[in-house]
Amino acid sequence: MATVPSVSYSITVRLEVPAGGKAVSQLTHAVESAGGVVTALDVTTAGNEKLRIDVTCAARDTDHAQGIVDALEAIEGVVIHKVSDRTFLMHLGGKIETKSKVPLRNRDELSMAYTPGVARVSMAIARNPEDARRLTIKRNSVAVVTDGSAVLGLGNIGPAAALPVMEGKAALFKRFAGIDAWPICLDTQDVDELVRTIQVLAPGFGGINLEDISAPRCFEVERRLRELLDIPVFHDDQHGTAIVVLAALTNALRVVRKELGEVRIAMAGAGAAGTAVLRLLLAAGARHVVVCDYLGAVHKGRDDLDESLRWIADHTNAEGYAGDLRGAVKGADVFIGVSAPGILTGDDVAAMAEDAVVFALANPEPEVSPDEAREHAAVVATGRSDFPNQINNVLAFPGVFRGLLDAQAGGVTQEMLLAAAGALAAVVTPEELGPNYIVPSVFHPDVATAVAAAVRESAGGRARGMTEA
């Protein structure tokens, strides 16, 4: 699928041109002729004979960026000095830092913040461990934990390569919910080691955000940690995705005037995200769902069902459909894809019911071209930022954890997830709701606060004894 220039592939080219020639006027033309977009052009040094200029532009990918550089270099009189990838520059030295919340200007302040004064606080917590939430960062801290086995759409690239993603997650926690989050990348993919390591790290945190751990291990890791810990454990790839999908589908169905309990839903993807989306949809009232994996529809007659697929077979596909995804999509009101790129065509969407809803969420390339899908479907959503209706987990997890921490919750319930989805959907007002606006912008000021309030109210301030999602 053809893509458009994106800031994700933004470069700055430092070059030199003759001061009196036509090269300056040709720079923008060369970039645009190569298919790029100029976002800034700055003269950094001027002289009688030479000008040094920084040209910043967006490309489609790394090869396209190189093509733009070649086009600039081909201009007569242009000398390329340096090419900087702006995304890599942003990541130099990491994206987050820690800083003290209290002044340390003199010996008195040092004595209170550290020894000997800190000993009094430590002893108070030793006498009453619950005071850790009041007197330490525990009350506002989350561990973002991964084993690097399922990073974005990149696969099993390991813990070190996962660190930039976990840093980004921590930055989002702070930006959207004021939560201090810490990236923790574990060099093991053994379930027992993961569970035990996270368990012994847990006392310093108010919540655990599991991230980019592949299925089916992620299910067991989450289940066991929830049994062991007295703080919330939330696998964002599962539950964050589910919350945003349900919120978006709630509003999409309002647009097309259909009811969740009546529509036929075809899903592609039975992994961690797909299973969580399915569970929340069923809890919200969906009744007619067929889930497909790479072997076709999941049904009770298949002989390859593991525990997770068996659950899906037992709770969906009541008619026992045993065909492929294209057959499941035919006549369906809703398609939800959390699977692989390019598995459907515009013709498949055309075969859906009238006023169809298509959520093609594979990233960076969706299950079906959004442009083709929009020719036939009434509402289309993707996981991409360059199309309307982006299904983005940042709409959910900051507010969810803000609510959990504020309530001092000891776990996560299905009721909390449903409450979060309902609150997120309600941020879009009836006047704003339309085919191209079914979820708010991630920068909408009410998103995190609305979700947090809903989760906090659902939690009821209870810290123990909650049934789990």
Q: What is the pLDDT of residues 234-288, one digit of tens each?
A: 999 999 999 999 999 999 999 999 999 999 999 999 988 999 999 999 999 999 9
Q: What are phi and psi of 342, to 5 degrees?
A: 65, 30
Nearest to 273 by CA among 118, 404, 166, 383: 383
Quote the DSSP letter at residue 130. G
Residues 327-373 have pLDDT tens digits of: 999 999 999 999 999 999 999 999 999 999 999 999 878 999 999 99
In the sheet that holds 180-185, the strands lie side by side as 180-185, 141-146, 207-210, 233-235
Structure tokens at 340: 């692989």
- Asked whether 185 and 195 are in contact (CB, 8 A), the reply is no
Judged against a pLDDT cut of 80, whether residue 461 lies above it is answered with: no
Residues 104-143 have pLDDT tens digits of: 999 999 999 999 999 999 999 999 999 999 999 999 999 9
Sign, Cα dihedral of 99, 105, 106, 109:
negative
Residues 58-84 have pLDDT tens digits of: 999 999 999 999 999 999 889 999 999
Dihedral-angle region of residue 331 (phi above 0 means left; psi in -120 to 50 means alpha; beta otherwise): left
> What residue type is 118 in one-letter code?
V
Give 151's strand partners.
Answer: 155
**DSSP-H helix ranges across 16-61:** 23-33
- Asked whether 352 and 377 are in contact (CB, 8 A), the reply is yes
Mean of the per-residue pLDDT values of the chain: 93
What span, in angstroms and rounded, lies between the C-alpha atoms of 443 and 365?
Answer: 24
- Of 333-342, 378-387, 395-404, 431-440, the one with minimum mean pLDDT is 378-387
Count of residues in the chain? 469
- Asked whether 78 and 15 are in contact (CB, 8 A), the reply is yes
Nearest to 188 by CA among 167, 208, 159, 211: 159
Residues carrying an active site annotation:
114, 169
What span, in angstroms and rounded, lies between the C-alpha atoms of 60 and 266?
Answer: 32
Distance from the Cα of residue 124 to its chain's centroid: 39
